[in-house]
Amino acid sequence: METMRIFIAVPLPDSLLKKLSALQQKLERQSPHRSVRWVRPEGVHLTLKFLGDTPTEKLPEIKRALAAVARNTPACTFTVEGLGCFPRPSRPRVIWVGVQEPTGRLAALQDAIEEVLTPLGYEPEGRGFTPHLTLGRVRRKASRSDAAQVGEIVTSTTVELLAEEPADRFALIRSVLKPTGAEYTTLEEFPLRGGNDL
């Protein structure tokens, strides 16, 4: 049975990816050598749902479900600002830039995607939806003191408003893991209702 590693995300414009890349470079210069594995700019997505290895024969029903969500969900605008790390600065694992969308439409979109995919065998995320853009992951072999230093750098770095972007569509994306890093292919895009009016 052929499978594809897939996820659902809001695509980001090159202008924002360039700003995120500049921020990564700044943080990398300050961080202990090789303590963080930085995400390549083209690999930064506003992820809504990770599906993982999925049989290719399930793709048509997944696409049908997502198309129905897109038809019934209004577009919105989100801002990108702030810097943080999961789970906490003293033991950081993931370094992220924050995403804010005050109307709740982005969260409602993610909820709707969870709802239509549950009958297809995809369990809803246990933790609540915290929209963010992952910049890097602290390497497992980084020492505790190096990791703590990365956390201090993150908490002492202020990231003002980087962008205000429309979430007027989302995409089903294939990820192929390679030694050089993951490669991404958009399988299909789903325009949201009223997306062209933003």
List the catalytic residues.
45, 132
CA gap 109, 72 in Å, rounded:
9
- Which candidate, 113, 105, 131, places its Cα nearest to that of 47? 131
- Token output for 96: 């992220």
Amino acid at site 134: T
**36-71: burial string, b at 16+ Cβ within 10 Å, e else:** bebbebeebbbbbbebeebeeebbeebeebbeebbe
Count CB atoms within 10 A of the CB of residue 80. Answer: 22
